[in-house]
Structure 1
Amino acid sequence: MEVAIVAFDDFTDIDVFLPWDILNRVNHPEWNVQIYGTKETHSSVTGLTVPIHSSIDELRNADAILFASGPGTRRLYKDENYLKRLKINPSKQLVGSMCSGALILGALGLLDGMTATTYPTAKKELQKFNVTVVEESFIVEKNIATAAGCLAAQYLVGWIIERLISKKVGEAVINSIQPVGKGLSFTK
Protein backbone atom coordinates (compact mmCIF):
# COMPACT_ATOMS: atom_id res chain seq x y z
CA MET A 1 0.00 0.00 0.00
CA GLU A 2 1.53 3.25 -1.15
CA VAL A 3 0.66 6.47 0.68
CA ALA A 4 1.75 9.69 -1.02
CA ILE A 5 2.27 12.98 0.77
CA VAL A 6 2.48 15.75 -1.82
CA ALA A 7 4.93 18.52 -0.97
CA PHE A 8 5.99 21.62 -2.90
CA ASP A 9 7.96 24.77 -2.25
CA ASP A 10 6.47 26.86 0.57
CA PHE A 11 4.53 23.99 2.18
CA THR A 12 3.46 24.26 5.81
CA ASP A 13 5.95 22.19 7.84
CA ILE A 14 3.51 20.46 10.17
CA ASP A 15 1.24 19.43 7.28
CA VAL A 16 4.01 17.25 5.87
CA PHE A 17 5.95 16.26 9.00
CA LEU A 18 3.03 15.34 11.26
CA PRO A 19 1.35 13.02 8.70
CA TRP A 20 4.80 11.63 7.81
CA ASP A 21 5.45 10.74 11.45
CA ILE A 22 2.01 9.29 12.13
CA LEU A 23 1.81 7.29 8.91
CA ASN A 24 5.24 5.82 9.54
CA ARG A 25 4.03 4.42 12.89
CA VAL A 26 2.05 1.82 10.95
CA ASN A 27 3.71 -1.57 11.27
CA HIS A 28 2.56 -3.47 8.20
CA PRO A 29 4.79 -5.29 5.71
CA GLU A 30 3.13 -3.76 2.65
CA TRP A 31 2.92 -0.19 4.04
CA ASN A 32 5.02 2.42 2.27
CA VAL A 33 4.91 6.19 2.81
CA GLN A 34 6.61 8.47 0.29
CA ILE A 35 6.88 12.22 -0.25
CA TYR A 36 6.05 13.25 -3.81
CA GLY A 37 6.97 16.49 -5.55
CA THR A 38 8.17 18.11 -8.75
CA LYS A 39 11.92 18.18 -8.07
CA GLU A 40 14.54 16.43 -5.92
CA THR A 41 13.89 18.59 -2.84
CA HIS A 42 11.28 21.08 -1.70
CA SER A 43 11.60 23.72 1.00
CA SER A 44 8.97 24.51 3.59
CA VAL A 45 7.70 27.97 4.43
CA THR A 46 10.23 28.05 7.30
CA GLY A 47 13.13 26.99 5.10
CA LEU A 48 13.44 23.29 5.94
CA THR A 49 14.35 21.22 2.91
CA VAL A 50 12.97 17.71 2.43
CA PRO A 51 14.06 15.08 -0.07
CA ILE A 52 11.42 13.92 -2.51
CA HIS A 53 11.02 10.18 -3.02
CA SER A 54 8.89 10.19 -6.15
CA SER A 55 7.52 12.51 -8.83
CA ILE A 56 3.93 13.72 -8.83
CA ASP A 57 3.75 12.08 -12.26
CA GLU A 58 3.58 8.76 -10.40
CA LEU A 59 0.62 9.61 -8.15
CA ARG A 60 -1.61 7.31 -10.19
CA ASN A 61 0.20 4.38 -8.50
CA ALA A 62 -0.58 5.48 -4.93
CA ASP A 63 -3.42 4.01 -2.88
CA ALA A 64 -3.82 7.22 -0.90
CA ILE A 65 -2.75 10.79 -1.68
CA LEU A 66 -2.50 13.58 0.86
CA PHE A 67 -1.92 17.19 -0.26
CA ALA A 68 -0.14 19.46 2.19
CA SER A 69 -0.99 23.13 2.57
CA GLY A 70 0.94 26.36 2.68
CA PRO A 71 1.48 29.50 0.62
CA GLY A 72 2.70 27.33 -2.27
CA THR A 73 -0.84 26.07 -2.89
CA ARG A 74 -1.89 29.56 -4.02
CA ARG A 75 0.50 29.27 -7.00
CA LEU A 76 -0.07 25.62 -7.77
CA TYR A 77 -3.84 25.57 -7.96
CA LYS A 78 -3.58 28.18 -10.73
CA ASP A 79 -0.77 26.35 -12.57
CA GLU A 80 -2.36 24.37 -15.43
CA ASN A 81 0.86 22.48 -16.16
CA TYR A 82 1.10 21.31 -12.54
CA LEU A 83 -2.55 20.29 -12.44
CA LYS A 84 -2.26 18.29 -15.70
CA ARG A 85 0.50 16.19 -14.13
CA LEU A 86 -1.76 15.07 -11.25
CA LYS A 87 -3.29 11.80 -12.44
CA ILE A 88 -5.70 11.08 -9.60
CA ASN A 89 -8.71 8.76 -9.58
CA PRO A 90 -10.86 9.08 -6.43
CA SER A 91 -12.94 6.07 -7.48
CA LYS A 92 -9.82 3.94 -6.93
CA GLN A 93 -7.71 6.08 -4.57
CA LEU A 94 -8.20 7.83 -1.26
CA VAL A 95 -7.55 11.54 -1.70
CA GLY A 96 -7.10 14.00 1.14
CA SER A 97 -5.97 17.53 1.80
CA MET A 98 -4.79 19.61 4.71
CA CYS A 99 -6.05 23.19 4.96
CA SER A 100 -5.31 25.10 1.72
CA GLY A 101 -4.33 21.85 -0.01
CA ALA A 102 -8.08 21.68 -0.72
CA LEU A 103 -7.54 24.42 -3.32
CA ILE A 104 -5.65 21.90 -5.46
CA LEU A 105 -8.49 19.39 -5.12
CA GLY A 106 -10.95 22.14 -6.02
CA ALA A 107 -8.95 23.19 -9.08
CA LEU A 108 -8.91 19.55 -10.23
CA GLY A 109 -12.72 19.48 -10.00
CA LEU A 110 -12.63 16.77 -7.34
CA LEU A 111 -14.74 18.79 -4.89
CA ASP A 112 -17.36 20.01 -7.38
CA GLY A 113 -20.78 20.06 -5.68
CA MET A 114 -19.35 18.65 -2.47
CA THR A 115 -18.94 19.84 1.10
CA ALA A 116 -15.35 20.38 2.23
CA THR A 117 -13.27 22.22 4.77
CA THR A 118 -10.14 24.32 4.54
CA TYR A 119 -8.26 26.89 6.55
CA PRO A 120 -10.36 30.07 6.98
CA THR A 121 -7.98 32.18 4.85
CA ALA A 122 -8.63 29.88 1.86
CA LYS A 123 -12.41 29.65 2.25
CA LYS A 124 -13.40 32.25 -0.36
CA GLU A 125 -10.96 30.84 -2.92
CA LEU A 126 -12.27 27.30 -2.41
CA GLN A 127 -15.90 28.40 -2.75
CA LYS A 128 -15.12 29.48 -6.34
CA PHE A 129 -14.93 25.78 -7.26
CA ASN A 130 -18.62 25.06 -6.51
CA VAL A 131 -17.76 23.76 -3.04
CA THR A 132 -19.81 24.23 0.11
CA VAL A 133 -17.11 25.16 2.61
CA VAL A 134 -17.83 24.51 6.27
CA GLU A 135 -15.81 25.38 9.33
CA GLU A 136 -15.20 21.90 10.65
CA SER A 137 -11.98 20.06 11.31
CA PHE A 138 -12.65 17.04 9.07
CA ILE A 139 -15.06 16.21 6.24
CA VAL A 140 -15.32 12.97 4.28
CA GLU A 141 -17.34 12.41 1.11
CA LYS A 142 -16.80 8.98 -0.47
CA ASN A 143 -13.04 8.62 -1.10
CA ILE A 144 -12.21 12.30 -0.57
CA ALA A 145 -11.41 13.88 2.79
CA THR A 146 -10.50 17.44 3.71
CA ALA A 147 -9.05 18.57 7.03
CA ALA A 148 -8.62 22.06 8.45
CA GLY A 149 -6.28 23.17 11.19
CA CYS A 150 -2.85 21.53 11.32
CA LEU A 151 -3.70 19.22 14.21
CA ALA A 152 -6.64 17.84 12.22
CA ALA A 153 -3.99 15.83 10.38
CA GLN A 154 -4.60 13.06 12.90
CA TYR A 155 -8.17 12.66 11.59
CA LEU A 156 -7.02 12.58 7.97
CA VAL A 157 -4.23 10.12 8.67
CA GLY A 158 -6.46 7.95 10.88
CA TRP A 159 -9.02 7.81 8.05
CA ILE A 160 -6.36 6.67 5.57
CA ILE A 161 -5.05 3.97 7.92
CA GLU A 162 -8.54 2.75 8.78
CA ARG A 163 -9.62 2.59 5.14
CA LEU A 164 -6.43 0.89 3.88
CA ILE A 165 -5.74 -1.46 6.80
CA SER A 166 -8.27 -1.52 9.66
CA LYS A 167 -10.01 0.52 12.31
CA LYS A 168 -8.04 -1.31 15.01
CA VAL A 169 -4.68 -0.34 13.49
CA GLY A 170 -5.87 3.24 12.90
CA GLU A 171 -6.97 3.62 16.52
CA ALA A 172 -3.71 2.14 17.83
CA VAL A 173 -1.61 4.51 15.75
CA ILE A 174 -3.64 7.60 16.66
CA ASN A 175 -3.64 6.60 20.35
CA SER A 176 0.17 6.54 20.20
CA ILE A 177 0.24 10.31 19.60
CA GLN A 178 -2.51 11.48 21.96
CA PRO A 179 -1.58 13.59 25.01
CA VAL A 180 -1.28 11.61 28.22
CA GLY A 181 -3.77 12.47 30.97
CA LYS A 182 -7.18 14.06 31.04
CA GLY A 183 -6.51 17.37 29.34
CA LEU A 184 -4.09 20.11 28.56
CA SER A 185 -2.87 22.51 31.19
CA PHE A 186 -0.15 25.08 30.65
CA THR A 187 0.37 25.83 34.35
CA LYS A 188 1.25 23.55 37.27
Structure 2
Amino acid sequence: MQIAILTFDGFNEQDSFVALSLLNRVKGWRAMICAPGETVTSMNGVMVTPGIGLDALPAMDIILIGSGVRTRAVAADAALMARLAFDPARQLIGAQCSGALVLATMGLLQDVPVCTDSTSRPWVEEAGVRVIDAPFHASANVATAGGCMAAYYLAAWAIARGAGEGEARAVIDYVAPVGEKAETVARIMGVVTPFLPVMA
Protein backbone atom coordinates (compact mmCIF):
# COMPACT_ATOMS: atom_id res chain seq x y z
CA MET A 1 0.00 0.00 0.00
CA GLN A 2 1.22 3.46 -0.96
CA ILE A 3 -0.25 6.16 1.27
CA ALA A 4 -0.24 9.95 1.10
CA ILE A 5 -0.76 11.98 4.25
CA LEU A 6 -1.81 15.21 2.53
CA THR A 7 -0.39 18.05 4.57
CA PHE A 8 -0.51 21.82 4.08
CA ASP A 9 1.26 24.72 5.79
CA GLY A 10 -0.16 25.38 9.23
CA PHE A 11 -0.93 21.68 9.70
CA ASN A 12 -1.86 20.07 13.02
CA GLU A 13 1.01 17.74 13.98
CA GLN A 14 -1.26 15.21 15.68
CA ASP A 15 -3.32 14.63 12.56
CA SER A 16 -0.45 14.06 10.17
CA PHE A 17 2.13 12.40 12.40
CA VAL A 18 -0.18 10.00 14.27
CA ALA A 19 -1.61 8.66 11.01
CA LEU A 20 1.88 8.46 9.49
CA SER A 21 3.21 6.47 12.43
CA LEU A 22 0.30 4.05 12.69
CA LEU A 23 0.04 3.29 8.98
CA ASN A 24 3.76 2.65 8.66
CA ARG A 25 3.48 -0.07 11.30
CA VAL A 26 1.75 -2.32 8.75
CA LYS A 27 4.31 -4.54 7.08
CA GLY A 28 4.72 -3.70 3.40
CA TRP A 29 2.94 -0.35 3.67
CA ARG A 30 4.60 3.00 3.02
CA ALA A 31 2.95 6.16 4.28
CA MET A 32 4.53 9.49 3.34
CA ILE A 33 3.87 13.14 4.01
CA CYS A 34 2.57 14.70 0.80
CA ALA A 35 2.65 18.48 0.31
CA PRO A 36 2.55 21.10 -2.47
CA GLY A 37 6.06 22.47 -1.87
CA GLU A 38 9.58 21.38 -0.96
CA THR A 39 8.86 21.90 2.74
CA VAL A 40 5.72 22.18 4.87
CA THR A 41 5.54 23.90 8.27
CA SER A 42 3.15 23.01 11.08
CA MET A 43 1.03 25.37 13.16
CA ASN A 44 3.75 25.19 15.83
CA GLY A 45 6.71 25.75 13.54
CA VAL A 46 7.78 22.16 12.83
CA MET A 47 9.24 22.08 9.32
CA VAL A 48 9.02 18.83 7.36
CA THR A 49 10.39 17.73 4.01
CA PRO A 50 7.58 15.84 2.23
CA GLY A 51 8.24 12.39 0.88
CA ILE A 52 6.10 13.02 -2.20
CA GLY A 53 4.44 15.88 -4.04
CA LEU A 54 0.89 16.36 -5.28
CA ASP A 55 1.70 14.76 -8.63
CA ALA A 56 1.97 11.40 -6.84
CA LEU A 57 -1.64 11.46 -5.58
CA PRO A 58 -3.21 9.51 -8.49
CA ALA A 59 -0.88 6.55 -7.80
CA MET A 60 -1.73 6.32 -4.09
CA ASP A 61 -3.88 3.56 -2.59
CA ILE A 62 -4.87 5.66 0.43
CA ILE A 63 -5.04 9.45 0.86
CA LEU A 64 -5.59 10.99 4.29
CA ILE A 65 -5.95 14.76 4.73
CA GLY A 66 -5.00 16.31 8.05
CA SER A 67 -6.27 19.61 9.37
CA GLY A 68 -4.56 22.91 9.97
CA VAL A 69 -4.99 26.59 10.63
CA ARG A 70 -4.81 27.47 6.92
CA THR A 71 -7.24 24.91 5.48
CA ARG A 72 -9.81 27.55 4.55
CA ALA A 73 -7.19 29.28 2.41
CA VAL A 74 -6.28 25.93 0.83
CA ALA A 75 -9.92 25.19 -0.05
CA ALA A 76 -10.30 28.67 -1.52
CA ASP A 77 -7.20 28.34 -3.71
CA ALA A 78 -8.64 27.15 -7.02
CA ALA A 79 -5.23 26.54 -8.58
CA LEU A 80 -4.11 24.40 -5.66
CA MET A 81 -7.38 22.48 -5.48
CA ALA A 82 -7.12 21.73 -9.21
CA ARG A 83 -3.89 19.85 -8.47
CA LEU A 84 -5.64 17.40 -6.14
CA ALA A 85 -6.56 14.26 -8.08
CA PHE A 86 -8.58 11.73 -6.05
CA ASP A 87 -10.43 8.62 -7.21
CA PRO A 88 -12.89 7.44 -4.53
CA ALA A 89 -13.84 4.46 -6.68
CA ARG A 90 -10.30 3.09 -6.34
CA GLN A 91 -8.66 4.90 -3.43
CA LEU A 92 -9.47 5.01 0.28
CA ILE A 93 -9.85 8.68 1.15
CA GLY A 94 -10.10 10.17 4.62
CA ALA A 95 -10.06 13.60 6.20
CA GLN A 96 -9.68 14.84 9.74
CA CYS A 97 -11.19 17.99 11.23
CA SER A 98 -10.79 20.89 8.76
CA GLY A 99 -9.49 18.43 6.16
CA ALA A 100 -13.18 17.67 5.58
CA LEU A 101 -13.47 21.14 4.04
CA VAL A 102 -11.09 20.05 1.26
CA LEU A 103 -13.22 16.99 0.50
CA ALA A 104 -16.41 19.04 0.65
CA THR A 105 -14.97 21.58 -1.76
CA MET A 106 -14.08 18.72 -4.12
CA GLY A 107 -17.68 17.49 -3.96
CA LEU A 108 -16.76 14.18 -2.31
CA LEU A 109 -19.01 14.56 0.74
CA GLN A 110 -22.39 15.18 -0.84
CA ASP A 111 -25.34 13.39 0.77
CA VAL A 112 -23.27 11.71 3.51
CA PRO A 113 -22.88 12.60 7.21
CA VAL A 114 -19.59 14.37 7.92
CA CYS A 115 -17.44 14.52 11.05
CA THR A 116 -15.21 17.47 11.89
CA ASP A 117 -14.09 19.47 14.91
CA SER A 118 -16.14 22.25 16.50
CA THR A 119 -13.95 25.04 15.13
CA SER A 120 -14.17 23.78 11.56
CA ARG A 121 -17.84 22.86 11.70
CA PRO A 122 -19.24 26.23 10.49
CA TRP A 123 -16.84 26.29 7.53
CA VAL A 124 -17.65 22.73 6.54
CA GLU A 125 -21.38 23.38 6.83
CA GLU A 126 -20.99 26.48 4.65
CA ALA A 127 -19.64 24.13 1.98
CA GLY A 128 -23.08 22.50 1.92
CA VAL A 129 -22.61 19.24 3.83
CA ARG A 130 -24.31 17.86 6.93
CA VAL A 131 -22.06 17.66 9.98
CA ILE A 132 -22.90 15.23 12.77
CA ASP A 133 -21.77 15.06 16.40
CA ALA A 134 -19.64 11.94 16.09
CA PRO A 135 -15.92 11.18 16.03
CA PHE A 136 -15.94 9.12 12.84
CA HIS A 137 -18.07 8.24 9.85
CA ALA A 138 -17.36 6.41 6.61
CA SER A 139 -19.40 5.90 3.48
CA ALA A 140 -17.96 3.48 0.94
CA ASN A 141 -14.32 4.56 0.42
CA VAL A 142 -14.57 8.02 1.99
CA ALA A 143 -14.23 8.71 5.73
CA THR A 144 -14.14 11.76 7.99
CA ALA A 145 -13.08 12.14 11.60
CA GLY A 146 -13.48 14.95 14.12
CA GLY A 147 -11.06 15.92 16.88
CA CYS A 148 -7.28 15.58 17.12
CA MET A 149 -7.41 12.22 18.86
CA ALA A 150 -9.74 10.90 16.16
CA ALA A 151 -6.59 10.28 14.11
CA TYR A 152 -6.62 6.81 15.65
CA TYR A 153 -10.06 6.10 14.20
CA LEU A 154 -9.07 7.24 10.73
CA ALA A 155 -5.87 5.19 10.76
CA ALA A 156 -7.61 2.11 12.18
CA TRP A 157 -10.28 2.33 9.47
CA ALA A 158 -7.67 2.59 6.72
CA ILE A 159 -5.70 -0.35 8.12
CA ALA A 160 -8.80 -2.48 8.57
CA ARG A 161 -9.94 -1.73 5.01
CA GLY A 162 -6.53 -2.37 3.49
CA ALA A 163 -5.04 -5.11 5.66
CA GLY A 164 -7.92 -6.52 7.69
CA GLU A 165 -9.51 -5.90 11.05
CA GLY A 166 -7.00 -8.15 12.81
CA GLU A 167 -4.10 -6.00 11.63
CA ALA A 168 -5.88 -2.84 12.76
CA ARG A 169 -6.40 -4.36 16.20
CA ALA A 170 -2.74 -5.39 16.39
CA VAL A 171 -1.48 -1.90 15.51
CA ILE A 172 -3.77 -0.17 18.00
CA ASP A 173 -2.85 -2.72 20.68
CA TYR A 174 0.85 -2.00 20.13
CA VAL A 175 0.53 1.77 20.61
CA ALA A 176 -2.15 1.70 23.34
CA PRO A 177 -1.16 2.69 26.89
CA VAL A 178 0.15 -0.13 29.05
CA GLY A 179 -2.59 -1.44 31.30
CA GLU A 180 -5.27 -0.04 28.98
CA LYS A 181 -4.63 -2.03 25.82
CA ALA A 182 -7.76 -4.17 25.75
CA GLU A 183 -10.15 -1.29 26.42
CA THR A 184 -8.36 1.01 23.95
CA VAL A 185 -8.60 -1.55 21.15
CA ALA A 186 -12.23 -2.25 22.01
CA ARG A 187 -13.14 1.46 22.04
CA ILE A 188 -11.41 2.37 18.78
CA MET A 189 -12.52 -0.70 16.88
CA GLY A 190 -16.02 -0.35 18.33
CA VAL A 191 -16.28 3.00 16.56
CA VAL A 192 -14.68 1.85 13.30
CA THR A 193 -16.08 -1.67 12.81
CA PRO A 194 -19.67 -0.65 11.94
CA PHE A 195 -18.26 1.15 8.89
CA LEU A 196 -16.29 -1.79 7.55
CA PRO A 197 -17.66 -3.82 4.63
CA VAL A 198 -19.51 -6.95 5.68
CA MET A 199 -17.48 -9.98 4.62
CA ALA A 200 -19.40 -12.71 2.84
Question: What TM-score does the superposition give when structure 1 sets the normalisation length?
Answer: 0.93
Matched, 1:2 2:5: no
Could you tell me how far 1:89 is from its partner in structure 2?
0.8
Aligned to 2:26: 26
Cα distance in structure 2, aligned partners of 1:32 and 1:13: 19
1:72-151 aligned at under 5 Å gives the runs 72-151=70-149
For residue 120 of structure 1, give the secondary structure of its aligned residue in structure 2.
coil
Matched, 1:15 2:23: no
Aligned to 1:53: 51
Cα distance in structure 1, aligned partners of 2:46 and 2:122: 29
Matched, 1:153 2:151: yes
Residue deviations 1:36-82 (CA, integer Å, cap 9, x gap): 11111100000001111111122111011000101121110111111
Is the 1:109–1:129 contact (alpha carbons within 8 Å) kept by the matching residues of 2?
no
Cα distance in structure 2, aligned partners of 1:153 and 1:15: 6
Aligned to 2:178: 180
Cα distance in structure 1, aligned partners of 2:172 and 2:70: 28
Could you tell me how far 1:116 is from its partner in structure 2?
0.6
Is the 1:112–1:129 contact (alpha carbons within 8 Å) kept by the matching residues of 2?
no
Could you tell me how far 1:180 is from its partner in structure 2?
2.1
- List gaps (5 residues or longer) in structure 2: 185-200
Residue deviations 1:111-142 (CA, integer Å, cap 9, x gap): 01211110111111111233110111111111
For residue 54 of structure 1, give the secondary structure of its aligned residue in structure 2.
coil
Is the 1:4–1:59 contact (alpha carbons within 8 Å) kept by the matching residues of 2?
yes
Give runs of ≥4 in structure 1 deviating > 3 Å. none
Is the 1:113–1:130 contact (alpha carbons within 8 Å) kept by the matching residues of 2?
no
Q: Which has the higher helix share?
A: 2
Q: 1:62 aligns with which of 60, 63, 70?
A: 60
Could you tell me how far 1:87 is from its partner in structure 2?
0.6
For residue 140 of structure 1, give the secondary structure of its aligned residue in structure 2.
strand
The amino acid across from 1:153 in the alignment is: A
Question: What TM-score does the superposition give when structure 2 sets the normalisation length?
Answer: 0.87
Q: CA RMSD in A?
A: 1.4
Cα distance in structure 1, aligned partners of 2:97 and 2:78: 21
Cα distance in structure 2, aligned partners of 1:69 and 1:27: 26
The amino acid across from 1:15 in the alignment is: D
- List gaps (5 residues or longer) in structure 1: none
Is the 1:59–1:87 contact (alpha carbons within 8 Å) kept by the matching residues of 2?
yes
For residue 77 of structure 1, give the secondary structure of its aligned residue in structure 2.
helix
Cα distance in structure 2, aligned partners of 1:130 and 1:103: 10
